[in-house]
Chain A
Amino acid sequence: MGFILAAAGSAIGLGNIWRFPAVAYENGGGAFFLPYLFALLTAGIPLLILEFAIGHKYRASAPGSFAKINRKFQGIGWWQLVICFVIAVYYAAVIAWALSYAVFSINLRWGDDTEGFLFGQYLKLADTPGQFGGIVPGVFIPLIVVWLVTLFVLYSGVRKGIEVANKIMLPALFVLFAILVIRALTLEGAAEGLNAFFKPNWDTILNGKVWVAAYGQIFFSLSIGFAIMVTYSSYLSKKSDITNSAFITGFANSGFELLAGIGVFGILGFMAAQQGVGVDEVVSGGVGLAFVVFPQIINTLPALNGFFGFLFFASLVLAGLTSLISIVETYIAGLQEKFNISRAKAVLYGGGLTTIVSIVFSSKGGLFFLDVVDYFINNFGVALAGLVEVIAVAWIARQLGKLQEHANSVSDIRLGLWWKVCLAVITPIVLGYMMVDNIITNIRENYGGYETWFVSAYGWAVAALAILLGIVFSLFRNNAPEIAASDSKEVSR
């Protein structure tokens, strides 16, 4: 149970709440569910099973597990850990914003001009991208709080820290969000919002980009391709049913996304009704949806505005924290194993360094850095590492058969040829296409209209540095003795 909650907690993050609803709407509404479900069953769950099987079979962190498949693959694991480090440094900043906004909700401190409040009063956004412009105390203080909570959970260990935190935070997230969704569905205009979300536009179903968007959504929201699931499953007991655990994690993640879509579009329908416009005119996603549009909606709720505002931003904090804990745990486990150091030292060095670097994102230019780093590390870090991982395991090491045998030896649901086809054929083709398409798009045009030096220094260079550091770390000699499958590492299932 602890493992499933931790894995689901990792998968369910900020993207489920603010990315999925907008992606689904832009890609055919109800018709998007077809490619989305297809992607879940042919890439999401098979990849989850693969990563669970790798961690469970080799019982080590990502670099250790990949090294046991083939010594030369250790670099893939380290590359994924560096990606986790990069994501952690900015992800914590977004959770810090949500924490601030949970407090601001009490007296609706953002006022009527929510956009001006976010960029002007709260973030004190620099004039041009690339400027640091000094630390913003209103972001810095909650950022330190986020890190104290995260590092305390990690310091407390896998069973007493991560497992306990997820047992509290994930149910709390579901309860808070369920209250919010029920309220959303009782608002005037909610039905129009849901109609916009679910109404199928069948013309989009043959559009290749819609299918790529569905695979992208599944891939980015399931925490696959960046070491988390390998690390978590290495703590599982030997007899744990890993295939069923992958199905629960995948469906729980999608179930929450669906819930988020219903809640978000119910509320957007209310906003559209208040303004007398169509739902299409108020749809947005990402930071703008959470920190500009939602405060506007909260302002116009008929009653208990502060309470529902608090529920929304507290949900973001909980969803973010459970994911952040899993992201940082990957390199805490990697450092422990590589340098044979105690958990306390790994948390101190690994977590301490992450905290220091993340302070950059509490500067006045933090949002610009965050935007570019997030885009490049996801598209040319997570997705590329996932592609390399699948090719390495399926085609170079040809380990799918052994991993299938391992999964079948502990699981009720038997993996057949379909699992191998999904991983060896479908996933590499889709991820490969996504990669080529992204590279061409970004060569033709700078992401977000930023200047070339800025996307080169904080986008391309960060993604390239992750690969380089992955190789460098893999060349360091391992100080730890060979890790044996140990029951002391296990957590309850």
Chain B
Amino acid sequence: MEGSAIAMMIIGIVIIWGGLAASIVNAVIKARQNGSKSDS
């Protein structure tokens, strides 16, 4: 693979899958916080 193709693949993966991972982490943290609030 050429360097430009590898660079675009990495950019796509980082932004899209990184965005997905960040959103999921945010949802999990919020769910835990809501869970601990309802426990207390």
Which residues of A are interface residues toward B (Cβ below 8 A)?
4, 29-31, 33, 37, 191, 194-195, 197-200, 239, 241, 244-245, 247-248, 251-252, 254-255, 258, 262, 412-413, 493
Q: Report chain B residues within 8 Å CB of A254.
A: 16
Check if B9 sits within 8 Å of A194, measured CB to CB: yes
Q: Report chain A residues within 8 Å CB of B27.
A: 4, 241, 244-245, 248
Q: Report chain A residues within 8 Å CB of B7.
A: 30
Q: Report chain B residues within 8 Å CB of A4.
A: 27
Given A244-B30, A258-B13, A412-B30: A30 and B23 within 8 A (CB)? no
| CB nearest to A413 among chain B residues | B26
Determine the distance from Cα of A257 to Cα of B11 in the docked complex, in whole angstroms.
15
Q: Report chain A residues within 8 Å CB of B23.
A: 244, 247-248, 251
Q: Decide yes or no whether B40 CB sits under 8 A from chain A.
A: no
Check if A199 sits within 8 Å of B5, measured CB to CB: yes
Q: Report chain A residues within 8 Å CB of B4.
A: 30, 199-200
Determine the distance from Cα of A389 to Cα of B22 in the docked complex, in whole angstroms.
30
Check if B19 sits within 8 Å of A247, measured CB to CB: yes
From the candidates B6, B17, B26, B34, name the one contacting A258 in the complex (CB within 8 A).
B17
Check if A248 sits within 8 Å of B20, measured CB to CB: yes
Determine the distance from Cα of A391 to Cα of B34 in the docked complex, in whole angstroms.
37
Distance in Å from the Cβ of A461 to the closest Cβ of chain B? 39
Determine the distance from Cα of A244 to Cα of B24 in the docked complex, in whole angstroms.
8
Given A30-B8, A200-B8, A258-B13: A248 and B24 within 8 A (CB)? yes
Determine the distance from Cα of A198 to Cα of B7 in the docked complex, in whole angstroms.
9
| A-B pairs with beta carbons under 8 Å apart, 21 shown | A29-B8, A30-B4, A30-B7, A30-B9, A198-B5, A198-B8, A198-B9, A198-B12, A199-B2, A199-B4, A199-B5, A239-B34, A247-B19, A248-B24, A251-B16, A251-B20, A251-B23, A254-B16, A255-B17, A258-B16, A412-B26
Q: Report chain A residues within 8 Å CB of B30.
A: 241, 244, 412
| CB nearest to B10 among chain A residues | A198
Distance in Å from the Cβ of B14 to the closest Cβ of chain A? 11
Q: Report chain A residues within 8 Å CB of B19.
A: 247, 251
Check if A200 sits within 8 Å of B5, measured CB to CB: yes
- Residue with the highest number of chain A CB atoms closer than 10 Å, among B2, B26, B27: B27
Distance in Å from the Cβ of B21 to the closest Cβ of chain A? 8
Check if B1 sits within 8 Å of A191, measured CB to CB: yes
Distance in Å from the Cβ of A360 to the closest Cβ of chain B? 38
Distance in Å from the Cβ of A430 to the closest Cβ of chain B? 20
Determine the distance from Cα of A199 to Cα of B2 in the docked complex, in whole angstroms.
7
From the candidates A194, A251, A413, name the one contacting B5 in the complex (CB within 8 A).
A194
Distance in Å from the Cβ of B13 to the closest Cβ of chain A? 7
Closest 9 CB pairs of A and B: A30-B8, A251-B20, A198-B5, A199-B5, A247-B23, A251-B19, A248-B23, A195-B1, A198-B9
Q: Report chain A residues within 8 Å CB of B34.
A: 239
Determine the distance from Cα of A241 to Cα of B27 in the docked complex, in whole angstroms.
8
From the candidates B5, B16, B20, name the one contacting A30 in the complex (CB within 8 A).
B5
Q: Report chain B residues within 8 Å CB of A258.
A: 12-13, 16-17
Distance in Å from the Cβ of B12 to the closest Cβ of chain A? 5
Can you name 13 extra interface pairs (CB under 8 A) apart from A4-B27, A245-B27? A29-B8, A30-B7, A33-B8, A33-B12, A37-B12, A194-B5, A199-B8, A200-B4, A200-B8, A248-B20, A248-B23, A248-B24, A258-B12
Determine the distance from Cα of A170 to Cα of B18 in the docked complex, in whole angstroms.
20
Distance in Å from the Cβ of A69 to the closest Cβ of chain B? 27
Q: Report chain B residues within 8 Å CB of A493.
A: 31
Given A244-B30, A254-B16, A255-B20: A194 and B8 within 8 A (CB)? no
Given A194-B1, A200-B4, A251-B19: A33 and B11 within 8 A (CB)? yes
Q: Report chain A residues within 8 Å CB of B17.
A: 251, 255, 258
| CB nearest to A259 among chain B residues | B17
Q: Report chain B residues within 8 Å CB of A252.
A: 20
Determine the distance from Cα of A341 to Cα of B4 in the docked complex, in whole angstroms.
58
Q: Report chain B residues within 8 Å CB of A239.
A: 34
Check if A244 sits within 8 Å of B26, measured CB to CB: yes
| CB nearest to A198 among chain B residues | B5
Q: Report chain A residues within 8 Å CB of B2.
A: 195, 199
Q: Report chain B residues within 8 Å CB of A413.
A: 26
Determine the distance from Cα of A8 to Cα of B16 in the docked complex, in whole angstroms.
14
- Residue with the highest number of chain A CB atoms closer than 10 Å, among B9, B16, B27: B16
Q: Report chain B residues within 8 Å CB of A194.
A: 1, 5, 9
Determine the distance from Cα of A252 to Cα of B15 in the docked complex, in whole angstroms.
12
Check if B16 sits within 8 Å of A255, measured CB to CB: yes
Determine the distance from Cα of A30 to Cα of B2 in the docked complex, in whole angstroms.
12
